[in-house]
Structure 1
Amino acid sequence: MTGAEYAVIAGIIFLAACLQASSGFGMGMLAAPVIAIIDPALLPATLILLALLVTVMVTVTERQSLDLRGTGWALAGRLPGSIVGAWLVAVSSKEGLAWVVVAVVLTGLVLAGRGWAPRPRRVNLIAAGAASGIMGTATSIGGPPMALVWQGHEGPRLRGTMSAFFMVGSTISMTMLWLAGAVTPQMLVLALWMVPAVVAGYAASRYVNRFLNPRRLKALALGASALGSVLLILQLLLAA
């Protein structure tokens, strides 16, 4: 990659880490389409590793507000979902995964826009965890299912619960990808280079939280995700 491409990735990772730390999700929805434009081979492991770092920091910060019972039921679905997601990575082409990224982001946007809000009951939590495992492992975008089922939580409880789930879930996903042979040295090196951008994004979120109310934050996440998806679709069509 060129220096300009590294700079673009660092910039989007900074914004995505800030969004993730502020809302509890959104890093994959914002960053994955842009990274897929530059080099689809970097997904999903690079972004999952960086998201893992964000979730660890937020979980520690918001540890007093966790919904441990709900997190446990969601994780019960995450493991089998992650196995399926790793299989999809192993058998799919890079271009195919890029289209999956588009489909996942657009589906999340449509559901969020329609205001669908399933109750956080045991069955729904397990199903959402499984869907998150499949999507998160295959595309690095596992946030939409959990955001739908936990959208009734607010502030620290939402950030802490989502982050605790994704901290464990991302670890499971990385293990499955590693066993499937889908983690390359290039992914690990890029993730290491992007650590400062992640830390800076987390630090910025502590200030952003004071000015962005939930409505504005949701609008920012959906708008950025939609723009990234449109750019990725254009890139895929031009390359066809």
Structure 2
Amino acid sequence: MSPGEILTVVLTVLFGATLQGSVGFGMGLIASPILILIDPRFVPGPILLSTTVLTVLLVYRERTAIDFHGIQWAMVGRLVGTVLASAILLVVSADQLVLLIGVFILSAVGMSLSGFRFDPIRPVLVVAGMLSGLLGTIASVGGPPMALVYQHAAGARIRSTMSGFFLLGTILSLGALWYVGRFGAYEIQLTLVMLPSVLTGFVLSKWTAVYVDRGYVRPAVLSVAAGAGLLVIIRQFV
């Protein structure tokens, strides 16, 4: 990578990690469509591994507000979604994957803007977990389905529960990627490029999280994600 590309990675991951540390999700939404333009192999493995590091830190910081019951049922769906995603990765080409990521991101934004209220009951959690497993394993953007379920909860509840879910889910997804040959030494090298920004974003989110309930961060996340998703799709046709 050139110095300019490395700088882009550093700043993009820093922004994404700060957002995820503030609202419970966002790193995959922000980083995937930009990093994939620099090196397609950033997605999904390196983003998932760096997100795992971030979620470990967030789970510890917000551990008193976790909804363990919700995580339990969402993980049932996550397992199903991860298996389906692994099968997809065996037959989808790199170019098709890029296009799918753009579509998935726009779909995720649409879900977040839909306005429907889905309470965190057992069937809803299982379905949200399955969708998160699909999106997370294929495109590193597994946050929106679970965020939609918990969007009416308190900020600490959202951050802690989604972080706990992501921690278990990303480990599962990374195992699936390794099994199908989509995660190895090169992906670990790319992850190391991202980690300083992940750690810095976590530190910054301690202060930005204070403003989450005032509604300032979520509109910015959705706007940037939609623009990035469109950029990925347009790039495939020009």
TM-score with structure 2 setting the length: 0.96
Contact conserved, 2:154 with 2:213, CA < 8 A, in 1?
A: no
Structure-1 residue corresponding to 2:75: 75
Query: Once the two structures are superposed, what CA deviation does each residue of 1:62-81 show, in whole Å capped at 9, x if it has no partner?
Result: 10111000110001111121
Equivalent residue number for residue 59 of structure 1: 59
Which runs of no fewer than 5 residues in structure 2 stay unpaired? none
Contact 2:32 2:42 in 1 (8 A): no
Secondary structure at the residue paired with 1:153?
Answer: coil
- Matched residue, 1:183: 183
Cα distance in 2 for partners of 1:12, 1:165 equals: 23
Residues 12 and 31, structure 2, Cα contact 8 Å, conserved in 1: yes
Question: Aligned partners of 1:50 and 1:15: how far apart in 2?
Answer: 14
Match of 1:88 in 2: 88
Could you tell me which runs of 5 or more consecutive residues in structure 1 were left unpaired when the two chains were aligned.
Answer: none
- Once the two structures are TM-superposed, the CA of residue 33 in structure 1 deviates from its matched residue by 0.6
Distance 1:128 1:211, change over 3 A: closer
Give the paired residue count: 238
Q: Does 2:130 correspond to 1:130? A: yes
> Given the alignment of the two structures, is residue 11 of structure 1 paired with residue 11 of structure 2, yes or no?
yes
Cα distance, 1:236 vs structure 2: 1.7
Aligned residues: CA RMSD: 1.2
TM-score by length of 1: 0.95
Residue in structure 1 matched with residue 204 of structure 2 by the alignment: 204
Equivalence for 1:20 = 20
> 2: distance between equivalents of 1:214 and 1:141?
24
Aligned equivalents of 2:85, 2:138: Cα separation in 1: 5
- Secondary structure of residue in 2 paired with 1:59: helix
CA distance in 2, matches of 1:196, 1:228: 23
Taking structure 1 as reference, are residues 102 and 166 closer, same or farther at Cα in structure 2, changes over 3 Å only? Answer: same
* Superposed displacement of residue 212, structure 1: 4.7
CA contact (8 A) 2:19 2:27 kept: yes
Per-residue deviation, 1:109: 1.4
Tell me the distance in 2 between the aligned counterparts of 1:183 and 1:51: 15
The CA deviation string for residues 35-87 of structure 1, in whole angstroms up to 9 with x for no partner, is 12222232100100011111110000010111000110001111121111122
Q: Aligned partners of 1:6, 1:162: CA distance in 2, in Å?
A: 29
